[in-house]
């Protein structure tokens, strides 16, 4: 995502504003821009079955009600909640569920377990979305080939699988070269959608009555449980709204707002109105109203354009999954993972092989298991509604504690959104056994991993503290009885700056020696996205031979120790990197006879710890300067 830009959009000039607005059309609105492919069709199929039993009967009140619900979902949830309100809940210019979590925790002044679990669950649900979006988007676009000629029917699944595999295989090469086209292609896609809808509104101009919210309310009151089931499909029209907030730091508030109000929203509204008018005029088009908006000669180009749009939408959630994972690692919610840079110019361009592989497997399993976009639609809504409910709850904390609104006013602002989203969540839960369990299983697995890692690392820190020695106790002993001195500088990495690192204790125990200069280095993560270089380093000379350095990075930054050490030179610490060694503890874990965690959780923690990326790679420490000292730990 960061390949589009070199600034955040705050204070950008006029040319920069238009560049960011165009970029946001491709990345931010790629997902919600593909919803017309299936959202109206699925909602109307559910509604029409209540009259004809097979989805073949179209009732005028149903069409007006469904289109009205879609339009007002776009107005209330996307426009009011996200564009108007949530984009203002920025954490130093950054957005997203984990940014909101960090903002709420900082406002509360401590880590509150309920807030942590909410944030973890909201972040975990995104992974379900990241698996479902490529599956349903690409499949729904390729299904349009069946309208070009029925001969393509047997090849829809193989073509979809080929596109998805190719998409994930090119991730390792980076997206900078092609991402410059995302904005223009998606802009063309929105224009084509708007034209397709506009030319068919005249088929039945009465569809414009759907702008009256009473038609949506009447549909819900008259249809009972059928309306609730239809609401689950209506919600498909707003999937992708979370990208508005998640990509705030990449494009800035004003470009995102402009792109929605003047491009995305008008195009989506016109398209849904056009689909409604088409179905009212020709009920037989209900099978695939989106593609039937276009004449036969335009079908093939529109299918190709739709496929490109769905690939862009898929790319946005894939790179979003990388970004979310990096944030979760920095916030200590996940173990360190292997991360590769795919661009020399853009630091945000990263590739995570482990995440990429798991997403690919998940997407392929869904495509093969469900076989059609209609089947996948049953599974799609729960992940997004769940994330939105979490966002509304966290927003309440931020409005009250950060914006300093009195609690009654904060609740008055957020409870209406929360109520609407809970209704949508209930509607989607009706599809639990038809596929809705998929995102819940994915989110449950991710939350289990996050909570296991958080709990395990805390217990490990407590265990380490029992065996560690305070530096204030150790250093006087070393001054009274100094060990053998060896030339050079030793840097010891530790999470507890007040305690002697295990690597230091083992070095003294086994080598009986100490370097001329020793540094106790702690790498900390702030609850802000980025930390200025002037505030990154806190350095303290403890004794003539020891100094303490705390190096702080924001949760959106990649820790870079060599770059941080360069800042230390400006603070007066002179050292030669060629005579400097990094001493790191490398611990191997074993299952203890008694553990503070359940056995399954302990085994999971040991597995995660064994497979986490080493500190050397993650902190970008020169491998040739690292000495690892092993230790066995029972957990």
Are 481 and 594 found together in one domain?
yes
Same domain, 336 and 475: no
CA 468 to chain centre: 37
CA distance 89 to 570: 35
φ, ψ for residue 243, nearest 5 deg: -60, -30
Same domain? 196 vs 222:
yes
Residue at which a domain ends, from 391, 419, 454 = 454
- As a whole number of angstroms, the distance between CA 437 and CA 233 comes to 16
Question: How far is the C-alpha of 22 from the C-alpha of 188, rounded, in Å?
Answer: 11
Q: Is residue 219 part of a domain?
A: yes
CATH number, domain of 397, equals 1.20.1740.10
Claim to verify: residue 526 and residue 594 sit in the same structural domain: yes
The pLDDT score that the predictor gives to residue 175 is 62
| Selected residue with higher pLDDT from 140 and 180 | 140
What are the distances in angstroms from CA 560 to CA 173, 292, 350, 352, 484? 22, 53, 14, 17, 32
Model pLDDT, residue 6: 35
Same domain, 540 and 444: no
Last residue of a domain, one of 454, 485, 519: 454
147 occurs within a structural domain: yes
261 and 402 co-located in one domain: yes
Distances in Å between the Cα of 110 and the Cα atoms of 102, 103, 130, 405, 476 are: 10, 11, 30, 20, 34
pLDDT of residue 206: 94
Helix (H, G, I), strand (E, B) or coil at 481: coil
pLDDT reported for residue 7: 36
Cα–Cα distance between 211 and 65 in angstroms, integer? Answer: 10
Give tens-digit pLDDT for 45-54.
888 776 655 5
What pLDDT does residue 344 have? 54
Assess whether 476 and 427 both reside in one domain.
no
- Residue 90 falls within a domain, yes or no? yes
Residue-wise pLDDT for 284-300, tens only, equals 899 889 999 999 899 98
User: Which pLDDT value is given to residue 339?
Assistant: 80
Is residue 138 a contact partner of residue 160, using CB atoms and an 8 Å limit? yes
378-382: average pLDDT: 77
Domain ends where: 454, 479, 498? 454
Residue 419 CA to residue 28 CA, distance in Å, equals 25
Domain match, 478 and 434 both: no
CB 302 within 8 A of CB 186: no
Query: Is the residue at 522 inside a domain?
Result: yes
Q: In angstroms, rounded to a whole number, what is the distance separating the alpha carbons of residues 593 and 433? A: 40
Q: What is the spatial distance between Cα 335 and Cα 329, in angstroms, rounded to a whole number?
A: 6
**Is 588 within the bounds of a domain?**
yes
For 519, the token pair is 């540094």
Identify the residue with better confidence: 561 or 249: 561
* Interval 462-471: pLDDT, tens: 777 777 788 8
The predicted pLDDT at position 473 comes to 87
Question: Residue 352 is inside which H or E element, if any?
Answer: none
Q: Which domain holds residue 214?
A: 16-454
The DSSP line for 22-67 is: HHHHHHTSTTGGGGGGTHHHHHHHHHHHHHHSSS----HHHHHHHH
Same domain, 404 and 478: no
Q: What average pLDDT does the structure give for the chain? A: 85
Give the DSSP H or E segment for 317: helix 296-330
Of the listed ranges 52-61, 231-240, 371-380, 482-491, the least confidently predicted one is: 52-61
Q: Which residue has the tokens 């966002």?
A: 391
DSSP bridge pairs for 122: none
Same domain, 29 and 130: yes
What burial class does residue 44 get, using C-beta atoms within 10 Å of its C-beta: 0-12 exposed, 13-18 middle, 19+ buried? Answer: buried
323: exposed, middle or buried (Cβ count in 10 Å: 0-12, 13-18, 19+): buried
Give a yes or no: residue 368 inside a domain: yes
Cβ-Cβ contacts under 8 Å for 264 (sequence gap 6 or more):
25, 29, 32, 33, 190
Do 435 and 583 lie in one domain? The reply is no
Q: How many domains does the chain have?
A: 2
The whole-number pLDDT of residue 287 equals 87
The reply to whether 377 and 300 lie within a common domain is: yes
User: What pLDDT, in 10s, does the model give residues 417-457?
Assistant: 999 999 988 888 888 888 888 888 888 899 999 999 999 88
Q: Which of 31-35, 196-200, 436-440 has the highest mean pLDDT?
A: 196-200
Residue 600 CA from chain centroid, whole number? 27
Q: Identify how many contiguous H helices and E strands the chain contains and give both numbers.
A: 26, 8
**Confidence category of residue 1, pLDDT binned at 50, 70, 90:** very low
Taking only the tens place, the pLDDT of each residue in 97-122 is: 888 888 888 888 777 788 888 888 88
């Amino acid at each position: 995502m960061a390949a589009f830009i070199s600034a955040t959009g705050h204070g950008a000039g006029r040319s920069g504003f238009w560049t960011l607005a165009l970029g946001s059309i491709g990345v931010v609105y790629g997902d919600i821009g593909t919803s017309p492919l299936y959202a109206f069709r699925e909602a109307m199929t559910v509604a029409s079955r209540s009259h004809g039993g097979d989805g073949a009967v179209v009732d005028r009140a149903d069409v007006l009600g469904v289109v009205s619900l879609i339009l007002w979902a776009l107005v209330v949830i996307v426009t009011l909640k996200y564009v108007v309100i949530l984009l203002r809940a920025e954490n130093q210019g950054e957005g997203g569920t984990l940014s909101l979590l960090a903002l709420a925790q900082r406002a509360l002044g401590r880590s509150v377990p309920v807030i942590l679990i909410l944030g973890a669950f909201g972040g975990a649900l995104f992974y379900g979305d990241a698996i479902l979006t490529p599956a349903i988007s690409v499949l729904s676009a390729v299904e349009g080939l069946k309208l070009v000629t029925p001969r393509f029917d047997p090849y829809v699944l193989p073509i979809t699988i080929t596109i998805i595999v190719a998409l994930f295989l090119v991730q390792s090469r980076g997206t900078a070269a092609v991402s410059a086209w995302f904005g223009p292609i998606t802009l063309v896609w929105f224009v084509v959608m708007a034209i397709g809808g506009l030319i068919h509104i005249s088929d039945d101009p009465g569809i414009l009555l759907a702008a009256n919210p009473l038609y949506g309310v009447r549909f819900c009151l008259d249809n009972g449980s059928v309306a609730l089931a239809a609401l689950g499909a209506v919600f498909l029209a707003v999937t992708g709204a979370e990208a508005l907030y998640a990509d705030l730091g990449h494009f800035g508030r004003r470009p995102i707002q402009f792109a929605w109000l003047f491009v995305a929203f008008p195009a989506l509204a016109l398209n849904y109105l056009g689909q409604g008018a088409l179905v009212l005029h020709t009920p037989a088009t209900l099978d695939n109203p989106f593609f039937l908006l276009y004449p036969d000669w335009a079908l093939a180009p529109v299918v190709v354009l739709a496929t490109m749009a769905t690939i862009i939408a898929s790319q946005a959630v894939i790179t979003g999954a990388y970004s979310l994972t990096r944030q979760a690692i920095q916030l200590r919610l996940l173990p360190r993972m292997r991360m590769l840079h795919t661009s020399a110019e853009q630091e945000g361009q990263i590739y995570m092989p482990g995440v990429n592989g798991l997403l690919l497997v998940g997407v392929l399993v869904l495509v093969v298991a469900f076989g059609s976009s209609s089947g996948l639609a049953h599974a799609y809504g729960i992940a997004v509604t769940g994330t939105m409910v979490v966002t509304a709850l966290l927003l309440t904390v931020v409005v009250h504690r950060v914006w300093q609104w009195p609690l009654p006013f904060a609740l008055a602002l957020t409870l209406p959104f929360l109520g609407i989203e809970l209704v949508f969540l209930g509607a989607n839960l009706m599809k639990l056994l038809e596929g809705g369990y998929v995102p819940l299983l994915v989110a449950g697995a991710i939350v289990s991993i996050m909570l296991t890692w958080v709990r395990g690392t805390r217990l490990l820190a407590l265990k380490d503290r029992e065996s560690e020695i305070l530096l204030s106790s150790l250093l006087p002993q070393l001054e009274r009885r100094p060990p053998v001195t060896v030339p050079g500088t030793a840097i010891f990495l530790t999470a507890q700056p007040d305690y002697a690192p295990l690597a230091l204790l083992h070095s003294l125990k086994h080598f009986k020696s100490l370097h001329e200069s020793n540094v106790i280095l702690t790498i900390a993560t702030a609850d802000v996205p980025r930390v200025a270089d002037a505030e990154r380093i806190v350095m303290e000379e403890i004794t003539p031979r020891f100094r303490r350095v705390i190096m702080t990075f924001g949760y959106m930054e990649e820790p870079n120790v060599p770059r941080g050490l360069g800042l230390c030179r400006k603070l007066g610490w002179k050292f030669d990197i060629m005579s400097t060694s990094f001493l790191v503890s490398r611990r191997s874990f074993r299952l203890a006879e008694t553990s503070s965690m359940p056995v399954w959780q302990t085994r999971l923690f040991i597995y995660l710890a064994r497979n986490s990326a080493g500190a050397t790679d993650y902190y970008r420490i020169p491998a040739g300067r690292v000495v690892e000292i092993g230790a066995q730990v029972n957990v």
